[in-house]
Amino acid sequence: MAVRQIAQWQRRLDVAFQLETARAIAFGKLMNSKQLLLRLNRKRLLENVATAIAGITSDIESVEKAETLESLRGYEGIGANRYFSAFGLLIVNEGFTFTGRNRRPPKDPINSLLSFGYTMLYNNVLSLILAEGLNPYLGNLHRSDRKETHLAFDLMEEFRSPVVDTLVMNLVNKKILRPTDFTYPDTDGGIYLVEAARRVFLKQFEERISLKIVYGDLQDKISYRRIIQHQIWRYRSALLGEAPYEAFLRND
């Protein structure tokens, strides 16, 4: 455990490692976001979604060429904005609309579901990071002087789309959740799931993160939760100089 955390502190001063790892994380996030849009738009064939996909493809190329963390974060942010704009266009349940990401508090049902899902994903990633004896505060793509769990924010990025966003779209488009499953806005404008619907969401989230898919060269399919653990092992290997970090790329 001590060896791993010493390596983390040393890598914090390694600009090349920071950039290389942040690039892999941003690449994985945008690739998986693009993959979900492609899947959802396969039958819809919406021109605006196709335009967003083309834009994200360009953003991915820019990420791969970025020479500083600042510029890399900029391209990742642009790609994320394109993604969420297209995401809203693919909602077919007339009871829900989504025009963009907002949080703290979430001000509409879709943002409420995304925030809740990301919190659940974060909790899973953080617990697995701690189990591996890594310092969750030392990140790469995310880093600042604030004491926040930047590594957990980093390593959840490539799982946002395949785990949470896919789940949210299924719950809404398949009408498993309804507009009446949410509270009225509170004094801050926040909207949240009512208790019964929260239980439905938690059950569906557990099913999603437990879904087994093909991962790398493994013979058997493994769950998303186990894939997260494998990615943390990959990150540990990168810290120790055994191999560069490679992001998880969705193929299910």
pLDDT tens digits, one per residue of 12-62: 888 999 999 999 999 999 999 999 999 999 989 999 999 999 999 999 999
Dihedral pair phi/psi, residue 39, rounded to 5°: -65, -45
For residue 4, what pLDDT band results from cuts at 50, 70 and 90? Answer: confident
Instruction: Please return the burial class of 14, using the count of CB atoms within 10 Å of its CB with bins 0-12, 13-18 and 19+.
Output: middle
Q: Stretch 91-99: mean pLDDT, rounded?
A: 93
Q: How far lies 55's CA from each of 18, 75, 158, 219, in Å?
A: 25, 11, 18, 35
Name the residue among 117, 152, 110 with its Cα closest to residue 131. Answer: 152
Q: Dihedral angle at the C-alpha atoms of 219, 224, 226, 228, nearest 10 degrees?
A: 120
For residue 1, what pLDDT band results from cuts at 50, 70 and 90? Answer: low
Q: Stretch 234-247: mean pLDDT, rounded?
A: 93
Task: Locate 119 and state its tokens.
Answer: 């919190």
The residues near 180 (Cβ < 8 Å, ≥ 6 apart) are none
User: pTM of the predicted model, to two decimals?
Assistant: 0.93
Fold topology of 2-239: Four Helix Bundle (Hemerythrin (Met), subunit A) (1.20.120)
